[in-house]
Amino acid sequence: MDHLTEPKDRLLLGPGPSNVNARVINAMSMPIMGYLDPTFLKVMDELVAMLKVLFGTSNKFTLPLSGTGTSGMEAALVNILEPGDNVVVGVNGLFGQRIADIAERCGANVTTVSADWGHPLNLSDVEKAVKSTDKLALLAAVHVETSTGVIQPLKPLADIAHRQGALFLADCVTSLGGIEMKIDEWGVDICYSATQKCVGAPPGLSPITLSDKAVEKIKNRSTSIQSFYLDLLLLEKYWISDRTYHHTASMPIIYAVREALSMAIEEGMPNRVHRHQTNAEALKEGLKALGFEILAQDGYQAPPLTAPIIPDTVDEATIRKSLLSEYGIEIAGGFGPLAGKIWRIGLMGESSQETNVLTFLEALEELLAKTDHKFQVGSSITSAKQVFAKWDKLENLKTGFYNDGKIF
């Protein structure tokens, strides 16, 4: 070809992927080795050890799958579920619905417990569905629903599942690396994520961790796992125990994720969580100053992703497209029933920076000034800076989401 399209630098403030630090990009240029090279096996071990730190787990079965977050979702479900298994899935957004769809493809009998998009699941509704389901195999829910910016406390759901002798699965694609994770303490049996959001790496791997009970469920299947590529027992033999060849892993992505995990641990998870919370709070206050309300219910607003409701005086698509074409800033619109009604603004991993919040708000004000939308010029910047000043003064701050979903 005479000319190939040149990719452009963007400020990635959508729901993922996020921007990647130069250290992570540079790591991808390290030498390619054989997939059983002793040095590469050590690289794999280091990556797994750091994943356990971010997950907050001592699970022996912890590894990264080749593929994006959806591969983690599919792998979890096709390994755990057999035809005829009874499953309850909490659905309060697009990705809860995707879990339900894949579970049905596995031949499971799926009962959904729905909540309005923008709200967390009602625990009473979940418990009622769980108790009325005979021989429940699995309860599943999304930790941070990327379509709405809602965070769902996980421990209460795990407790509901375990009281009925069922396993609990959590989709943590948007939370790992940006929110404090306590997989063991919360009682999550199956948890998967992705690398292109708060972890701070390119897309390409899906970290997953399973409790001993979940592994036993897979080992005791009466039917074969219907996927070879996503067979977790075979993948465990390559990544952890026997080093038996399964498939050729993408070494550059593995190098990148290892570097991103190393940076997260260097930063320290309390500091990382604090950073994500501070920037999200500043963004929300800035948006509110411009007349935007936040979709997610108070107390359940996830720091990695904020979904403002678009006022009637704002053409959401035009503003969003202008942010990209004029300023190189990417944000996303809504899915399904929220299409045209919200934006989805991500502050994840490397993209979660004070300068990015202020850059976005300044660009948004400049675009809004060309419309009929009424606001006080500079109000969003002032509001955001007040949050940064407030959080900078706090000492000995406890950070993280705990079991009741509140921020401390």
- Residues with Cβ within 8 Å of 271's Cβ and at least 6 positions away in sequence, in order, are none
For residues 257 and 357, membership in a common domain is answered with no
For residues 105 and 217, membership in a common domain is answered with yes
pLDDT value for 391: 79
Q: Which of 265, 292, 326 is the last residue of a domain?
A: 265
pLDDT value for 408: 24
For residues 157 and 256, membership in a common domain is answered with yes
pLDDT value for 394: 56
Residue 222 domain-assigned? yes
Helix residue ranges per DSSP H, 290-353: 316-327
Please give the tally of structural domains in the chain.
Answer: 2
For residues 173 and 315, membership in a common domain is answered with no
Residue 79 domain-assigned? yes
In 3D space, the residue among 400, 387, 173 whose CA is nearest the CA of residue 303 turns out to be 400
Q: Which CATH number fits the domain that encloses residue 54?
A: 3.40.640.10
Q: Which CATH number fits the domain that encloses residue 381?
A: 3.90.1150.10
For residues 89 and 225, membership in a common domain is answered with yes
Residue 6 domain-assigned? no
Question: For 372-387, b where at least 16 C-beta lie within 10 A, e where not — what string?
Answer: ebebeeebbbebbbeb
Query: Starting at the edge strand that comes first in sequence, how are the strands of the sheet with 167-171 ordered?
Result: 61-66, 205-210, 190-192, 167-171, 136-142, 86-91, 109-114
Residue 47 domain-assigned? yes
Q: Which domain holds residue 226?
A: 22-265
Listed as ranges, residues in the chain with pLDDT below 70 are 1, 393-408
pLDDT value for 398: 42
For residues 242 and 336, membership in a common domain is answered with no
- pTM summary value: 0.94
Residue 96 domain-assigned? yes
| Residues 287/149, Cβ–Cβ less than 8 Å | no
Residue 141 domain-assigned? yes
For residues 306 and 239, membership in a common domain is answered with no
376/54 Cα distance (integer angstroms): 41
130/112 Cα distance (integer angstroms): 10
Q: Which of 245, 265, 285 is the last residue of a domain?
A: 265
* Residue 6 DSSP code: P
For residues 217 and 125, membership in a common domain is answered with yes
* Helical packing angle, 155-163 and 123-131, nearest 10°: 20
Assign residue 192 a region: left if phi > 0, alpha if psi is -120 to 50, beta otherwise?
beta
Chain-centroid distance, C-alpha 89: 18
Q: Which of 265, 284, 308 is the last residue of a domain?
A: 265
Residue 404 domain-assigned? no
**Beta strand pairing status for 61-66 and 305-306?**
unpaired
In angstroms, the first-to-last Cα distance of the chain is: 56
pLDDT value for 401: 35
For residues 109 and 231, membership in a common domain is answered with yes
Per-residue pLDDT reduced to its tens digit, 364-392? 999 999 999 999 999 999 999 999 998 77
Per-residue pLDDT reduced to its tens digit, 75-130? 999 999 999 999 999 999 999 999 999 999 999 999 999 999 999 999 999 999 99
**Beta strand pairing status for 305-306 and 343-346?**
antiparallel
For residues 259 and 279, membership in a common domain is answered with no
For residues 123 and 239, membership in a common domain is answered with yes
Residue 330 domain-assigned? yes
